[in-house]
Amino acid sequence: MDSSKTNPPRPTEAELEILGVLWRCDSATVRDVHDQLGGQRGTGYTTTLKLMQLMVGKGLVVRDERERSHVYRAVQPKAAAQRQIVGRLIDQVFAGSTSALVQQALETGSVDAAELMEIRRLIEARFGRSAS
């Protein structure tokens, strides 16, 4: 089995921005993606086109060529890509420790009471009430 099909390459920061647009829209033309990115990257249309062509080659997106304006779609759903990226981050940066990742996330970001309650709810839903 081709490992690139089961384990797509890690997207670059620019590729993640493009994937973000595709996840929000489900599918989009290069023009749509470029317009939605607007001034975020400060790049031209041809740069967006080239990045998306490279992403097809890497297996991150697929291109529907049925119409003149090719329509692109992310290969992996957002949640699957997030799990893969976070899994690699835990392994490579936090030596496999999920708690170290969570601790760093809580110390680095601003977390309000509502978000902490949501985190607690997610933990309880995943592991049961005994996790608290």
Enter the CATH code of domain 11-74. 1.10.10.10
pLDDT at site 57: 93
Annotated domain spans of the chain:
11-74, 78-131
pLDDT value at residue 64: 87
On the question of pLDDT at 122 being above 70, the answer is yes
Which pLDDT score, from 0 to 100, does residue 70 have? 84
Mean pLDDT value across the chain: 86
Residue 41 corresponds to which tokens in the numbers above? 């990257």
- Give the Cα separation of 126 and 110 in Å (integer): 24
Whether this model's pTM surpasses 0.85: no
Between CA 11 and CA 41 the distance in angstroms is: 16
pLDDT at residue 2 in the model: 43
